[in-house]
Amino acid sequence: QQQVKQSPQSLIVQKGGISIINCAYENTAFDYFPWYQQFPGKGPALLIAIRPDVSEKKEGRFTISFNKSAKQFSLHIMDSQPGDSATYFCAARQGTYKYIFGTGTRLKVLA
């Protein structure tokens, strides 16, 4: 299936710092790009999402930056907190319902 490449695999950030996770895709037919947050023992939960005709979307401390020409998008977590420690997945929607997920980034925010 079509890939969504995610980096880094893991990330350690000091409390109050900025966490940045990057994703890249190849299929220009992808039309919706959500980010999911997953805590151990739980299913992923939607964090924030963006359409490809928008370059940036901000919700609280979370921002998605989207570069359509480069086929890249990233998640920025401002003022990172220990409670943000989780695994983050980018995803892309193919067609009207099929989501392709990245391999995940394990974020640890040090107190």
Partner 1 sequence: DTGVSQDPRHKITKRGQNVTFRCDPISEHNRLYWYRQTLGQGPEFLTYFQNEAQLEKSRLLSDRFSAERPKGSFSTLEIQRTEQGDSAMYLCASSLGREFGEKLFFGSGTQLSVL
Of 11-19, 68-76, 77-85, 89-97: span binding partner 1 (CB under 8 A): 89-97
Q: How far apart are CA 45 and CA 41, in angstroms?
A: 12
The amino acid at 31: D
Residues between 18 and 37 that touch partner 1 (CB under 8 A): 32, 34, 36
Out of 80, 102, 107, 109, which residue is the one contacting partner 1 (CB under 8 A)? 102
Residues between 48 and 67 that touch partner 1 (CB under 8 A): 49, 51
Check residue 11 for interaction with partner 1 (CB under 8 A): no
Q: How far apart are CA 67 and CA 81, in angstroms?
A: 27
Q: How far is the CB of 86 from partner 1 (least distance, A)?
A: 14
HSE (side-chain half, CA atoms, 13 Å) at 107: 30
CA–CA distances in Å: residue 111 to residues 12, 16, 48, 75: 11, 9, 24, 21
Least Cα distance to 40 among 111, 109, 110, 106 occurs for: 106
Check residue 46 for interaction with partner 1 (CB under 8 A): yes
- Chain positions contacting partner 1, by CB under 8 A: 1, 6, 32, 34, 36, 41-46, 49, 51, 89, 91, 93, 96-104
